[in-house]
Amino acid sequence: MSELAEFAGTLHESLCTESGRVLEPVKYPSTGERLYEVRAVICDVYGTLIDYWRDEFDDPQRKVAALHRSFKAVAEKFGMTDALLSASADDPPEKTLCDFYHGLITLKHEQASRKGIAYPEIIIEQIWELIIRILERHGYFGGDQAQIREAARRIAWFYNGHSLGRALYPEVTDTIAALKKDGVVFGLLSNAQFYTPVDLTLLIREQSGGRFDDFFELFEVDLTFFSYEYQVAKPDRLLFRKLYDALYEYQILPSQTVFVGNDLAIDIAPAQQAGMKTALFTGDRRSTFLHDLGGAVVPDITFSGWAELTDKLSFHSEG
């Protein structure tokens, strides 16, 4: 086991992976109630498989305070406090670190936009590497390039774990396992970072009681596409073209594929444009994003709980 994987596993064990939230479903129309001849199901991750929401996110001021607590935890864990005070003596260290973090992300997005990339994806460990370099000018010891790169990935892991909720929605693993047993293959297409695959593995292992040891036991590696690997994010068509080509290798048509997501604009609409069937997860009001689309985007089916999909999706023909 690598040092980073060991760090991630230890951190995971120390964090709560049960959201404790009461999920509130929303209503949204669909064109049907059941889909037949489904060969593949492709899933979004955050807000679809993983419940990342925290109660504090409902209120802008509480959200800022919660994120500042996460940045404070980072500063204390990785010995950044003095350097942050040196960089900005008038602000709390957590605010300075928050400003660096979001300012650098905005800068990276602006740089990508100038290159004509409509939906850029940043590499989150690079943001933390830049922060370490900035803090080195204020007395922080970052080490050599290899040490900085390793530290940046640890910091990214730590901040992700403390800033977002960490739980799979109920019945995810059992539902996927049941549909796979019936012949359906599963893949992933999601905006994500390097820690997402390991997060999925740890959460799937936990929810399944150890029945599945790695997320690739449920999802096909050749049907898995994460935005950080291509530095573009959904709804960029590049990711969907990559998926289209991969489905061809499986001899599966887009029309035999169901894309499962929680966002009409970045999940359902581009999947429909790519010729896929769609399923909108409506089981969590806080992470179901309908936008103001005026009914222009209507999924093939909706579902408010993962267990419903065993009745709503069928590998077999109708009748």
* Comma-separated ranges of CATH 3.40.50.1000 domains in the chain: 3-53+167-312
**318 pLDDT higher than 60:** yes
The predicted model gives 28-35 an average pLDDT of: 96
174-213 residue pLDDT tens: 999 999 999 999 999 999 999 999 999 999 999 999 999 9
Please report, for residues 119, 133, 155, the alpha-carbon distance to residue 91 in angstroms, rounded to integers and kept in the order given: 33, 20, 21
Q: Can you give the pLDDT at residue 17?
A: 64
What's the average model confidence in pLDDT over 104-133?
A: 96
State the Cα–Cα distance between residues 246 and 223, nearest whole angstrom.
Answer: 6
Q: Tell me, what amino acid is at 304?
A: S
**The whole model's pTM is what?**
0.95
Superfamily of domain 3-53+167-312 in CATH is HAD superfamily/HAD-like (3.40.50.1000)
Tell me 167's DSSP state: E
What average pLDDT does the segment 142-158 reach? 94
What six digits make up the tokens of 170?
């109920």
Report the mean per-residue pLDDT for the chain: 94
Which pLDDT belongs to residue 19?
63
Reference 259, options 233, 283, 278, 239; nearest CA is 278
pLDDT over 50 at 29, yes or no: yes
Closest CA to 192 of 77, 291, 46: 46
Confidence check: pLDDT of 1 > 50:
no
Q: What is the Cα–Cα distance from 48 to 53, expressed in whole angstroms?
A: 11
Tell me the C-alpha distance between 91 and 25, whole Å: 40
